[in-house]
Copies of this chain bind each other. A is one copy, B any other.
Amino acid sequence: MSPASEKLTLVKIGGNVIDSDAALTRVLDHFREIPGKKLLVHGGGKLATHLAGRLGIPQTLIEGRRVTDPETLRIAVMVYGGLVNKTIVAGLQARGLNALGLTGADLDLIRAERRNPLPVDYGEVGDVKSVNLRSLLPLLETGVIPVVAPLSHDGAGRMLNTNADTIAYELARAFAPTHQVSLLFTFEKSGVLLNVNDETSLVPEMNEGFFREMLAGGHIKDGMIPKLENAFRAIRGGVDEVILGQAERLPELLSRKTGTRLYRD
């Protein structure tokens, strides 16, 4: 990253925001206020599971992870690539932002390969192979706001399901050589908490050295470990900062009044 490169804010929102019309409205209102180039990555929420239930499509979990059989993939493409994506795009257009909804297949943005079925076959799931910003970079220059669904393609005509966190990190890394990237990675919690049940135990910022110490000391547990490993991988890949916190507090996250900011040494 050159110090002169332009700032890009990438916001990842998850199911907790998508499943609530009121929360989504507030988050899109906040998102509008972010200055400069920006991009939104969304997860899927409970709609896909709900729709699978109504259609009587059994959902298989292996070690807590969903298996994407072909019918479940079709639902993911409908719900993530269609309903959720276009709800957000239309909502941003209504706020005067020139949004463009994308999956990994559109503009060949994200290519993936179907995950090896051994040792565990998770089905139509894609591991990202490459991110191609060739068509997207000039669009950003003209004020277009990409809205990216958690779907990739294999380049051979097949759509694949890819975790929204992964999409957000891969995009952030791909933009890093040309932009000063802030990744706002939102989830249920206020940030990294020393005590998961105590929101006042928030860690305001950490570099990777501090993270390794906390990890060794047993202060970081469970689902936070892969989140932070991914975040520091993005930072090692050139991303300027990753801010973890709640989507509904986007302005305070940006002004560093809340959340955990991960930064480079």
State which of A156-164, A196-204, A215-223 sits at the interface with chain B: A156-164
- Whether the pair A90, B157 counts as a contact (CB closer than 8 A) is yes
Given A78-B78, A135-B98, A138-B138: A107 in contact with B144 (beta carbons within 8 A): yes
Q: Is A259 an interface residue (CB 8 A)?
A: no
Q: How many copies does the complex hold?
A: 2
Q: For the complex, count residues of A whose C-beta is within 8 A of B.
A: 40
Q: Which residues of B contact A90 (CB under 8 A)?
A: 105, 153, 157-159
Tell me which residues across on chain B come within 8 A of A100, comparing CB atoms: 102, 106-107, 135
Q: Quick check: is A180 within 8 A (CB to CB) of the other chain?
A: no
- Beta-carbon nearest neighbor of A152 in chain B: B90
Question: Is there an interface contact between B82 and A78, defined as CB atoms closer than 8 Å?
Answer: yes
With A83-B78, A103-B86 as given contacts, are A156 and B98 in contact (CB-CB < 8 Å)? no
Q: Does A81 contact B (CB under 8 A)?
A: yes
Q: Cβ of A86 and Cβ of B135 under 8 Å apart? A: no
Q: A99 on the interface (CB 8 Å rule)? A: yes
- Which A residues are closer than 8 A to B by beta carbons? 54-55, 74, 77-83, 85-87, 89-91, 93-94, 98-103, 105-108, 135, 138-139, 142, 144, 151, 153, 155-159
A to B CB contacts below 8 Å, 19 in the list: A55-B55, A77-B83, A77-B86, A78-B79, A79-B82, A81-B81, A81-B82, A82-B83, A90-B158, A91-B157, A93-B105, A94-B157, A98-B107, A98-B108, A99-B105, A100-B106, A100-B107, A101-B103, A107-B144
